[in-house]
Structure 1
Amino acid sequence: MELSPSNATEEAHHKSLNPQVNSVCHCAHLRLKGPLHVEKLRELLKRVRTTVPGLIELHFGESMNVSASSADSAESNTHALFSRHQNGHYLKMYKTHPAHMDLMNYLMSRAERPATVVDFVNVASSL
């Protein structure tokens, strides 16, 4: 069976959204209170980076959008933890890995509310 250009595009689109084949991203948005212990945070992040299988990248940072003049600043998330994994299988492993659990326990001990989490298939683009 030959693929027409529209079928080929449709098949490529389907494959690009397959979490078993493509990298997947996990983003946790947090509202944290009080200062973080930077050395403890660095230690926990390093442990995740060096021990979690299938982890491609890991980033943590404070939001640049929080401002006192913003009408919803009292409800805004203050930090985000972003990770990218080789595929959905590795994301599942990450979520229960002891190093990730230790990091999240530390962050949630300073959280005002549960994290807002978004998981998605990374669709590559050539912009």
Structure 2
Amino acid sequence: MYTDPRRHPVNFEVGDRVYLKVSPWKGVIRFGKRGKLAPIFIGPFKIIQRVNDQTVVLEVPTELAVINNTFNVCYLRKCMVDDETQLVPSSDLRVDLNQKLVEEAVRIVDRNVTKLREKEIHMVLVE
């Protein structure tokens, strides 16, 4: 009576690419920043096996070997990118000893200086 009539179950098949939801794992492993700027989904990862309708096994990189590779489908979102060249390789992920994701800047794209009444704020756009 109160459910969404347009809701349909999402079916995952072997070979599909999915994003993994990591926001409830704040006590276990942290990916990047805290609070609002923390990523909700990481990936995409490839499904290598379906255990049942609600459980799948993902192909996770060795950097994320501290977590189990079996997940419930409620933690997954389907990746809609068809072209493999548009995906960012997960081999670029680096996790330090505190199990935090290490991010490095590639290059500085643009610089801007905003002038207020008594001070200047330097803003940098980083790729």
Query: Which of the pair has more CA radius of gyration?
Result: 2
Normalised by the length of structure 1, the TM-score is 0.24
Q: Select the structure that is richer in strand.
A: 2
Which protein, 1 or 2, shows the higher relative CO under an 8 Å CA cutoff with sep ≥ 6?
Answer: 1
